[in-house]
Structure 1
Amino acid sequence: MEKRSGGKMWEIIPFMTMFLVEGCTIALTITAKSAMAIGMSQFVFVAYSNALSSVLLLVYCLIYHRDSMKMIFNRDLLTRFFLLGLTGITIAQNLAFTGLRDSSPIVVCAMGLLLPSFQFFLNLILRKAELKLRNKSTKIKIIGVLLSIMGAVMVAVYLGPSILNGPIIGPIMFHLKGSTKPFFIFISTTEEWMFGTFLLACATFFIAIWSIIQVSTFTRFPDMMVIVTCYTIFGTIQTFFVDIIANGDLNAWKLKWDLELLIIVLTAIFGTLVRSRIQAWIMSMKGPMYVAMFKPAGIFWANFFGESFFGTLCYGSVIGTIIVGVGYYTVLWGVKEEAKKAEQDSIKSASSDIKAPLLHNQNAQEQV
């Protein structure tokens, strides 16, 4: 009985951990949006948070991955690190936080769930996959992609009325000095709503490109922490260069001991050390598909925070995000079915290779 209860507990721990990680991610997203709403530049936020992440990752790798760090000075690897930093940080993060500024965390969830659909299209374009319409897995993935697109369009076009007149628990009563407006802000109903949604979708598209480059890089250099460290450093350098040009006001780069600095530190520590290590730990136990399954949990947390403390969620964004979530799981289902079929085909191929020489030997014996 003790083994069974221990086994059940060991199953619950990864589930609850991933669920809470998504909740913390949404909470930090709300905090970052709130800071940008009161004047913090998204370019400054991206540059400084990645700079701190680079320092933390570099120290970690010099302590625990020193041997691997000596092998990175290769032209092919350095080019890949440059492209990973460009697509995953310089382009994707700046687009994402600019889009967040003009939308809401639940839109971030919706556009992030388009990732498998973009990966499906990119694999077809790059001829890494074939469009076999007769296959069950392909049909499932196409249905998932169509659902994701429908949901994303609904999120972008239709905001709809508020679900409730006010927050369920109560507003977070926190104000900055000299201001009567609350610090924490969930949604921005501005004219740039559709543009912000479009920027978030573009950010997800570049993350899809980044993920393809990352997978191929990992096959050549199988030390993920060193890969993350190197492309974060490249991305930070690129981001400072691009963002100083984009944000010409040098005063915006002066940090003070206030909430903006706290948000930058928390985002860097959580995103760099906490979330990446937890995901790597759970991937080693459950596989990458298990971690991917928890991405739509952000919908729950966005709804929970939005209605509990802000009361500003709208029907259009919630329903559209749920549809995108269904599409996300449908595409993952198609990917799983494709992997299952490939495994079955390899087993059949292996068994036929074994049977062939046996039959050959049997025929030879009969002839004798």
Structure 2
Amino acid sequence: MGGFENYKPAIAMVGLQFSYAAVSLSTRVALLQGMSPRVLVVYRQAIATLVIAPIAYFSRRKSGGCSMGLRSFYLIFLASLIGVAINQNIYFEGLYLASASMASAMGNLVPAVTFLIAYFLGLEKVKIRSLRSIAKILGTMLCVSGAMSMALLKGPKLLNAELLPKNSVFGSGEEKWLLGCVLLFVSCCFWSIWLILQVPASASYPDHLSMSAWMCFMATIQSAAITLFFERDLETWKLHSALELGCCFFAGIVGSGISFFVQAWCISQRGPLFSAMFNPLCAVIVTILAAIFLHEKIYTGGLVGGIGVIIGLYILLWGKAEEIKETKEETDPKLQKSEWKQVEESLEKDSCKSDLEEPLLSDQSSLVN
């Protein structure tokens, strides 16, 4: 029985990646049937708010919680605007113009982009002679190079794709593939900024569940304003099929609701690096299922680039893991081995707290995307 308990976090993370893949594929199908990407963002965030808000309310009543000041409100408003409203609108446009497999593979760029932004902001330190710093730089270069290969070096087409309906603000067609890849990359940049914003936002308002509910609520209003600006026809807001309705509920409940609790539990059990190691699995699942059921176009350049992104991600994560390990050892170099094991077990239990100090791998990343 004890052995099964040890495998529970891994089983939960594998199931979570399958749920992410299902959200990506169902969203892609809904967009191909003519649903507006901007309307989908509004409905998804509204449903996520209805799921998270009651839980956050009763949890806050039981624990007392903390009050929201002007600074907290500003940070949460900015995080929801950048990380949810703008980011998801750009992401769904890219998902529509490119493919579900491309969107999932591009998502692995987030740690590398976050590392670059954090480095320029002074949040990450690089020592040229340090092996872990070289690993982080090399991993970032492989991730970016792989993403460029996916977008630019198509190579022979392995599978054909269906024609897209014209429901994007950028139009549709084969020539929009590169634009879709660019939008997905820009989405990764916005998502990375959102991860970094979690540090001051969480410090100012440490009630994470309540903050998540507020973020979903604000993102709903912001996304609605963006949609009203682009979609002047009110007919666009109507859901014309059970598939579109089911996609909105599935993305809101599973993609933004249940996934938050599952990943938060896994991080509390094994730490943020353990959680991040499973991210490439989603790209593999989406690529296989999209090729089988959606007949998406797959290019050899995209396949090679995707492998490069995944390898770069693991090299980057290894370098980050070594850095965290060395930081822990430097806190008290006089600890004996037997004493260090006890401290390490305690640090693993508190990994959610230490995660707020590491913007590269925030445990909030599953909430929205």
Q: Same fold (TM over 0.5)?
A: yes
Moved more, 272-281 or 9-18: 9-18
RMSD value over aligned CA atoms? 2.2
Residue equivalent to 2:197: 213
Residue equivalent to 1:309: 293
Letter aligned with residue 106 of structure 1:
S
Measured in 1, the distance between the counterparts of 2:87 and 2:17 equals: 19
Offset from partner CA, 1:239-285 (integer Å, 9 cap, x none): 11111102222210123562211110111110232111111111111
Cα pair 1:109 1:321 within 8 Å, conserved: no
Moved more, 157-166 or 113-122: 157-166
Measured in 2, the distance between the counterparts of 1:193 and 1:69 equals: 50
Instruction: Identify the match of residue 80 of structure 1 among 75, 79, 86.
Output: 75
Cα pair 2:57 2:210 within 8 Å, conserved: no
Residue 342 and residue 258 in structure 1: after superposition, are their counterparts in 2 closer, same or farther (change >3 A)? Answer: same
Number of corresponding residues: 326
Larger radius of gyration: 1
Residue equivalent to 1:49: 44
Measured in 2, the distance between the counterparts of 1:197 and 1:116 equals: 18
Measured in 2, the distance between the counterparts of 1:310 and 1:100 equals: 13
For the pair 1:197 / 2:181, whether they are aligned, the reply is yes
Residue equivalent to 2:146: 151
Offset from partner CA, 1:37-93 (integer Å, 9 cap, x none): 121000000011101111221111112223668634310110111011011111110
Cα pair 1:293 1:329 within 8 Å, conserved: yes
**Structure 1 residues 200-349: aligned runs within 5 Å:** 200-256=184-240, 258-312=242-296, 313-348=298-333
Moved more, 32-41 or 139-148: 32-41
Residue 72 and residue 48 in structure 1: after superposition, are their counterparts in 2 closer, same or farther (change >3 A)? Answer: farther
Residue equivalent to 1:12: 7
Structure 2 unpaired stretches of 5+: 166-171, 337-369
Cα pair 1:26 1:298 within 8 Å, conserved: yes
Cα pair 1:61 1:69 within 8 Å, conserved: no
Cα pair 1:147 1:326 within 8 Å, conserved: yes
Letter aligned with residue 112 of structure 1:
G
Offset from partner CA, 1:127-178 (integer Å, 9 cap, x none): 1123321121111100001100110001101223344799xxxxxxxxxxxx
Letter aligned with residue 75 of structure 2:
R
For the pair 1:106 / 2:101, whether they are aligned, the reply is yes
Measured in 2, the distance between the counterparts of 1:69 and 1:161 equals: 60
Letter aligned with residue 216 of structure 2:
T
Aligned to 1:111, what secondary structure does the other structure show? helix
Moved more, 288-297 or 16-25: 16-25
Aligned to 2:333, what secondary structure does the other structure show? helix
Residue 331 and residue 299 in structure 1: after superposition, are their counterparts in 2 closer, same or farther (change >3 A)? Answer: same
Structure 1 unpaired stretches of 5+: 1-5, 167-180, 182-187, 352-368
Measured in 1, the distance between the counterparts of 2:89 and 2:159 equals: 32
Instruction: Identify the match of residue 116 of structure 1 among 105, 111, 116.
Output: 111
Residue 145 and residue 122 in structure 1: after superposition, are their counterparts in 2 closer, same or farther (change >3 A)? Answer: same
Cα pair 1:100 1:108 within 8 Å, conserved: yes
Residue equivalent to 1:40: 35
Measured in 1, the distance between the counterparts of 2:129 and 2:118 equals: 18
Letter aligned with residue 37 of structure 1:
L
Cα pair 2:136 2:315 within 8 Å, conserved: yes
Residue 232 and residue 68 in structure 1: after superposition, are their counterparts in 2 closer, same or farther (change >3 A)? Answer: farther
Cα pair 1:72 1:78 within 8 Å, conserved: no
Cα pair 1:147 1:327 within 8 Å, conserved: yes
Cα pair 1:106 1:318 within 8 Å, conserved: no
Identity %: 29
Letter aligned with residue 142 of structure 1:
I
Aligned to 1:192, what secondary structure does the other structure show? helix
Measured in 2, the distance between the counterparts of 1:10 and 1:108 equals: 33
